[in-house]
Amino acid sequence: MENNNIAVGLDIGTTKIVAMIGRKNDYGKMEILGIGKSKSLGVHRGVVNNITQTIQSIQQAVQDAETSSGMKISDVIVGIAGQHIRSLQHSDYITRTNSDEVIDEEDIDRLCNQVHKLVMLPGEEIIHVLPQDFKVDGQAEVKEPIGMYGGRLEANFHVVVGQVSSIRNIGRCVKSAGLELSGITLEPLASANAVLSQEEKEAGVALIDIGGGTTDLAIFKDGIIRHTAVIPFGGNVITEDIKEGCSIIEKQAELLKIKFGSAWPGENKDNEIVSIPGLRGREPKEITLKNLSKIIHARVVEIVEQVYLEIKNYGHEEQKKKLIAGIVLTGGGSQLRHLKQLTEYITGMDTRVGYPNEHLAGDSDSETTSPMYSTAVGLVMNSLESKERNLQLKRSMGAEDTSQIEESTEANTEVDISEENDRPKDRKRFFDKWAEKFKEFLDNAE
């Protein structure tokens, strides 16, 4: 699919796999052309644990998307989450040989490549290196060092790390499903791209994406990503708790949660009762909604408190790091009734539910603007932006120099949200090199 203004995002989640095809319309907004989803069977807490089932689910989702859009899908950008993701802060510097010349792209590339050489724990690999702010000759808080003079260039980085084997398994599944892997993005970054406005990122905001198996967190301040974390439980553990607590089967527990569930027990009167058909000739069960919401409440409090701990670890309580825009909830789990009020109560921060319509065309179908699709929408946006950058690179370099272009756009896959507005658009990403290596690595593993 060589069409440059069309992109496909593949969100491999614990509960569902979504393939979404989108393109930019004339007004720069995103139109969704087709969407396909399938039940995800081989994924547990964001990590693939059954390759065969995952491949089937991917094929199913892709087929649905192809049918609904009438297009053929060949390459996809994939989101990665899971309990193995962690992030760290790191600062590094380079000394420039010639301080009479201004700092350019290459210096920044050199600096970022140096971070890629960080020694990780065995079995871990760097997924993203996101520069936060730079220092030039000790002058702090430089947002854009390109074009400045200086001998010593240093930067603080936000480094996201994941397990090699998990990343490899995802690549394996996509490849075996007959698709080309055009890039990998951290899921909380994709969701943030779809749901948050630039003002919120400037003011300081925590995005909480409550999925089936994991809850992802991304914190922005001054327009830059500051902290990411993946908490290894989400909506599915709530369903599990209901299943155990009420002794019913999973399907019934899930329906109960969606139809009658609430995160705030005080809302339900004591006499509100739901009757659930018994299994094969057994008596129906009666469950009070108060008990149901008590079970849900206990687990949700645990999830929100874990997230709040991460927000505190980032340093929300310091005046300078305060998140003025509060919390944005998204993902399928954010649709739980009274979750917003409970989150505000526990954290004392303003909270809203985020829908991925921030950059979607006005006539988008209401299903696609559901919080469940935040990650998928974000992935398509990321892919579209990187394709656009490739085009600009080609234009700026002129067609006569095509050999060089091929190299530089080969794997230009990652969109680094933190640089959306204030960086030149044709920056060749540091991530490209990683993606290149990763692709080779996959090909060799065959």
Q: What is the pLDDT of residues 219-232, one digit of tens each?
A: 999 988 899 988 98
Q: What is the DSSP letter of 312?
A: H
- 25: confidence class by pLDDT, cuts 50, 70, 90: confident
CATH of the domain at 283: 3.30.420.40
Q: How many domains does the chain have?
A: 1
Residue 112 counted as domain residue: no
In this prediction, residue 422 carries a pLDDT of 39
Q: What is the pLDDT of residues 160-174, one digit of tens each?
A: 999 999 989 999 999
Q: In this structure, what are the phi and psi dihedrals at residue 142, rounded to the nearest 5 degrees?
A: -90, 125
In this prediction, residue 360 carries a pLDDT of 84
Residue 41 counted as domain residue: no
b/e map 76-104, b = 16+ CB within 10 Å: bbbbbbbbbbebeeeebebebeeeeeebe
> Any idea which of 202-211, 276-285, 377-386 has the lowest mean pLDDT?
276-285
Maximal CA-CA distance, the chain = 86
In this prediction, residue 280 carries a pLDDT of 83
pLDDT value at 5 more than 90: no
- 11: confidence class by pLDDT, cuts 50, 70, 90: very high
pLDDT value at 358 more than 50: yes
| Mean pLDDT over the full length of the chain | 86
Domain enclosing residue 257, as ranges: 197-357
Tell me the CB-side half-sphere exposure of residue 155, using CA atoms within 13 A: 25
- 256: confidence class by pLDDT, cuts 50, 70, 90: very high
pLDDT value at 58 more than 80: yes
The string of DSSP letters for 60-82 reads HHHHHHHHHHT----EEEEEE-S
> Any idea which of 267-276, 359-368, 397-406 has the lowest mean pLDDT?
397-406
Residue 213 counted as domain residue: yes
- 299: confidence class by pLDDT, cuts 50, 70, 90: very high
Residue 415 counted as domain residue: no
Residue 256 counted as domain residue: yes
Residue 20 counted as domain residue: no
Residue 217 counted as domain residue: yes
Q: Quick one: average pLDDT of 420-446?
A: 55
Residue 286 counted as domain residue: yes
Strands (DSSP E) along 15-150, which ranges? 16-24, 30-39, 43-44, 47-48, 75-80, 86-95, 124-136, 139-142
Structural tokens at position 55:
């491949």
In this prediction, residue 95 carries a pLDDT of 93
- 408: confidence class by pLDDT, cuts 50, 70, 90: very low
In this prediction, residue 434 carries a pLDDT of 59
Please report which helix (H) or strand (E) contains residue 165, including its range.
helix 164-176
Map tokens 């991304």 to a residue.
218
Q: Which residues contact 403 (CB under 8 A, 6 or more apart)?
A: none
Percentage of the chain exceeding pLDDT 70? 88
